[in-house]
């Protein structure tokens, strides 16, 4: 069997994760990387071609089957996604939940025009969690599916909130860990289907390196009053040294739980829960994206075209195993 | 929109569960029930036609879209399944894992000949658990997915093992509860991917009503040496009165967990877990079967035919919600 050839578009933490994940998927291989700063990437990657994002003839000549788009949802994907979908099959982790319908239709148009398959908004959330929410609603009608993040002792590192902290004057560096409130999860498990406000489910813990001359009181006040990001939450701000931040709060740990509970029959309780715990959030996301690239290649081979989400794909398409093997040992 | 009309074939605990589940799925309605003993069923069900299993012209005139087959996997489904698949779309919970490939092909042939859709081997295990095992393997290559049953304090009632107990001379009635060994699950969560023997993951607890003149020592010995069922497991046998059995050990509670753990990148831990806790196992199974009947009707409307498992169906097909609603609020 010929291997599925993967092009990585954008080389940050998720792009690095894709390189690592491909080594665990023997039916796939890395064809090349495209980036806006190929020189930077070439310092790290020497065994495959690294081309400029605008070198279309160049990257098409690599004959990759699927491009995994690792750019950001805010500035990169809204333009990069439809552009790439015209040229080849794509997979991405577009995670701006409120703009998913708009992005889906823009990708659907582009992919149909290019006769390609584009799988959007996948990874673990959106992605696996979207799937588990939908299955919860379908298998337990009347239940509501809730997402909790950072149940483990460390909590979950939020990149978006860490970035928000670093925009504050006087902040040199910062990382934000989200913690789920266990009592809120208990209420969901009991089938209460509560009407939570954002601050009822999670708290936020900030580790901030302040500039020597900065007013820490002012920084703390600014953080705690940031609308959307921190104001609705119980927020703890810890000032630490850069060394402490680098040593004690390094890496990208994250974890999450989707929980739904309802009743069957005349009132028998029924509860379902999906949980994942990742030592590295971007590597886990990348591992899920790679399985979706396999599905994209298969859908394309069947002559399908347009945009797909995880909800539109038969789960067997994610697996390396053939159908007879799945029937014999996995059902 | 016209409602999806459901025929129930076989009226035991799961059939009763389907009647209850349809009340929570407003896009569906009960068209009728077929049974080998329609008189018995008519004592309970008076609002829809109850026909004999052999009255083919009669049940086809009910114009049901999908038959949910609630017979047993050992004696009923191997013959009933292919027979019904010739007449109409079907959904079943065939759960004899080692014979799934054979059953799939027999249903695939029959459904293709009848130009129908047959979804086989679904419910929670096989069914949701098959899906979660497959996703675990696809998203975390190198991990192994393990199934644990009866982690809750009561454990999980096993119908098959209860039936086995009741075949022993001197046993008037009995129920068997399976308990997971929490330390075994902990080893899986840590990513050890252990090579378990059956007795390493679960213990078995039996509640037995003995005949007044029975030799309890002999019964206990017979139970503990039953090959396959009890011999490989740590088994506890409790003798109780019929009243105690009926009161303290009633109902059909069950719960289960699929767990898989591996690594990403250069060794970051990654673990996933799906858990369900059911007050009533047959009602939960029925609720999942009903969502699959929706998928069967949709696949049929698209002109598909043949056998399908949960791995072959886009998850959106299980949901009452339309695609735009799923994109807007569930991704």
Across A247-255, average pLDDT: 95
Distance CA(B20)–CA(A293), nearest Å, equals 40
**A140: chain B residues, CB-CB within 8 Å:** 287
Question: Do residues B107 and B83 lie in contact, with contact meaning Cβ atoms separated by under 8 Å?
Answer: no
**A309: chain B residues, CB-CB within 8 Å:** 316, 326-327, 331
Say if the Cβ atoms of A276 and B277 lie within 8 Å. Answer: no
Helices (H), A144-235: 159-166, 182-189, 216-224
Say if the Cβ atoms of B277 and A269 lie within 8 Å. Answer: yes
ipTM of this predicted complex?
Answer: 0.95
Distance CA(B244)–CA(A93), nearest Å, equals 55
Nearest to B299 by CA among B323, B322, B287, B316: B316
**Which superfamily is assigned to A129-280 in CATH?**
Dihydrodipicolinate Reductase; domain 2 (3.30.360.10)
Q: What is the mean pLDDT of chain B?
A: 96
pLDDT band at A289, cuts 50/70/90?
very high
Say if the Cβ atoms of A309 and B288 lie within 8 Å. Answer: no
Region of A326 on the Ramachandran plot (φ > 0 left; ψ -120 to 50 alpha; else beta): alpha
The residues, any chain, with a CB within 8 Å of residue A167's CB and separated by 6 or more, are none
Nearest to B68 by CA among B26, B134, B20: B20
Q: Which residue of A has its CA nearest to B316?
A: A311
pLDDT band at B146, cuts 50/70/90?
very high
Say if the Cβ atoms of A311 and B331 lie within 8 Å. Answer: yes
**B278: chain A residues, CB-CB within 8 Å:** 264, 268-270
CATH 3.30.390.30 fits A4-125+282-329, yes or no: no
Question: Do residues A296 and A120 lie in contact, with contact meaning Cβ atoms separated by under 8 Å?
Answer: no
Say if the Cβ atoms of B97 and A137 lie within 8 Å. Answer: no
> Hey, which residues does B254 pair with through a beta bridge?
B278
* E strands, chain A, in order: 4-9, 28-35, 50-52, 66-69, 89-92, 117-119, 145-149, 156-158, 171-180, 202-210, 234-239, 254-264, 268-278, 306-308
A318-329, pLDDT tens digit by residue?
999 999 999 999
Q: What is residue A280's DSSP assignment?
A: B
Distance CA(B66)–CA(B90), nearest Å, equals 5
A317 pLDDT above the threshold of 90: yes
Q: Which residue of B has its CA nearest to A287?
A: B139
Best residue in B130, B138, B296 for a mutation probing chain A (most A CBs within 10 Å): B138
- Residue indicated by tokens 């989200």: A178
The closest CB to that of A315, out of B17, B97, B131, belongs to B131
Q: What is the pLDDT of residue B74?
A: 86
Give the predicted TM-score (pTM) of the model: 0.96
Say if the Cβ atoms of B141 and A275 lie within 8 Å. Answer: no
CATH 3.30.360.10 location in chain B: 129-280
More confidently predicted of B237 and B153? B237
The closest CB to that of B135, out of A263, A272, A315, belongs to A315
Distance CA(A126)–CA(A104), nearest Å, equals 13
More confidently predicted of B266 and B134? B134
User: Exposed, middle or buried: residue B93 (CB in 10 Å: 0-12, 13-18, 19+)?
Assistant: buried
The residues, any chain, with a CB within 8 Å of residue B107's CB and separated by 6 or more, are B81, B82, B85, B90, B118, B120, B307
B182-217, pLDDT tens digit by residue?
999 999 999 999 999 989 999 999 999 999 999 999
């Amino acid at each position: 069997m010929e291997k599925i050839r993967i092009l990585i578009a954008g080389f940050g933490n998720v792009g690095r994760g894709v390189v690592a994940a491909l080594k665990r998927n023997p039916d796939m291989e890395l064809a090349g990387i495209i980036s806006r700063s190929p020189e930077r990437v070439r310092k790290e990657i020497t065994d495959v071609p690294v081309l400029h994002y605008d070198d279309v003839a160049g990257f098409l000549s690599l004959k990759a089957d699927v491009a995994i788009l690792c750019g950001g949802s805010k500035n990169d994907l809204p333009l990069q996604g439809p552009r790439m979908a015209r040229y080849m099959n794509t997979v991405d982790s577009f995670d701006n939940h409120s703009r998913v319908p708009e992005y889906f239709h823009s990708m659907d148009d582009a992919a149909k025009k290019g006769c390609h398959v584009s799988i959007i908004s996948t990874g673990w959330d959106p992605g696996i969690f979207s799937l588990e929410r939908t299955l919860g609603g379908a298998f337990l009608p009347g239940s509501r599916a809730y997402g909790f993040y950072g149940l483990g002792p460390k909590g979950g590192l939020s990149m978006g909130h860490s970035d928000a902290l670093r925009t504050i004057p006087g902040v040199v560096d910062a990382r934000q860990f989200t913690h789920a409130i266990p009592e809120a999860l208990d209420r969901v498990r009991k089938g209460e289907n509560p009407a939570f406000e954002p601050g009822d489910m999670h708290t936020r813990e900030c580790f901030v390196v302040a500039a020597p001359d900065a007013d820490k009181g002012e920084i703390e006040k600014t953080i705690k009053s940031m609308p959307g990001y921190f104001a609705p939450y119980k927020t703890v701000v810890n000032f630490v040294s850069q060394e402490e931040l680098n040593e004690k709060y390094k890496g990208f740990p994250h974890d999450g739980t989707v929980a739904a509970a309802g009743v069957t029959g005349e009132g028998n309780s029924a509860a379902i829960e999906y949980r994942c715990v990742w030592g590295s959030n971007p590597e886990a996301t990348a591992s899920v994206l790679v399985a979706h690239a396999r599905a994209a290649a298969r859908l394309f081979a069947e002559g399908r075209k347009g945009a797909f989400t995880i909800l539109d794909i038969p789960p067997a398409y994610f697996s390396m195993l053939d159908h007879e093997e799945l029937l014999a040992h996995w059902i």
